[in-house]
Amino acid sequence: MVVNVSSLSVPLVKSPQVMGVLNLTPDSFYDGGQYQDVDAVLFRIEAMIEEGADWIDIGAVSSRPGSQSISLEEEMKRLTPIVTRFRSRFDVPFSLDTYQSEVLDWALGYGVGMLNCIRPVHQNPDLVSILAQSGLPVVLMHMLGTPERMQDCPEYEHVTQTLYDYFETGLRELKQAGVHEVILDPGIGFGKRLDHNMTILRDLHRFLDLGAPMMVGLSRKSFIGDISGARVSDRLPGSLVSAIYAYQKGAHFFRVHDVAETKQALLVAQALCGEPSC
């Protein structure tokens, strides 16, 4: 299947896009608290770029299940030393994982290349206004509830159709507001049980009918541990299998912790499969 992504100003067609995750948080589920100073963070960014990252996804607010929100001031405090230095030091683009319009507006002055918002961006008039005026690509992700409570007994009558309807509505409302460069993310693990996650991944190709590229965040997620019993630190094999499967189902962007390994796996999958959905 060929997806019409000609309007998106980021490269999608030639190869899958690997986004290296940079968590500037003390409590993220995998790498929280690893980077205690600016030099360590910049070194990590450089390492991911050398490993083949096409994008760096920067976030300062944890979205793991049960995590608490932080103040705008604290988010800015965590982001400022990195965002203000990024474009002068690195050639790859960076996306910003935030739902604060003030943060996005500020980051535009430092060359942010994409908004990666875990909350319903089409329901935030301030974010929509900034996106429409700037032309910035945005990720429309599905999450049931909030990170604090999203895993408290999530229920769906038909999970794939629920997400399809959510994306269809979001795309329509964003387009009507002048936001045309939208990437869809089904939000694996965000308000979903194991059976929900499995159904969504098996049905991932269905969302291609909406005419927008797709992003997935599967790296070291809890569903891999639910299936295999592996701890977070031992979930690389399951992460790679999941990424390859999602690529075959039509995903374009892959938000990952293990850049080199994922990049190699996807390049081999691309060589073997040719077009996605092989």
Pick the catalytic residue from 235, 249, 255, 263.
Answer: 255
Q: Which of 221, 235, 249, 263 is catalytic?
A: 221
Active site residue 44: no
User: How many angstroms separate the Cα of 162 from the Cα of each of 113, 175, 246?
Assistant: 29, 20, 19
Count Cα atoms within 13 angstroms, Cβ side, for 62.
15
- Of 120, 112, 140, which Cα lies nearest the Cα of 56? 112
Let me know if 255 is a catalytic residue. yes
| Cα distance between residue 175 and residue 157, in whole Å | 28
Cα–Cα distance, 189 to 198 (Å, whole number): 10
Provide long-range contacts, Cβ within 8 A and 24+ apart, for 174-177.
174/121, 174/122, 174/128, 174/131, 174/138, 174/140, 177/122, 177/128, 177/129, 177/132
Catalytic residue set: 221, 255
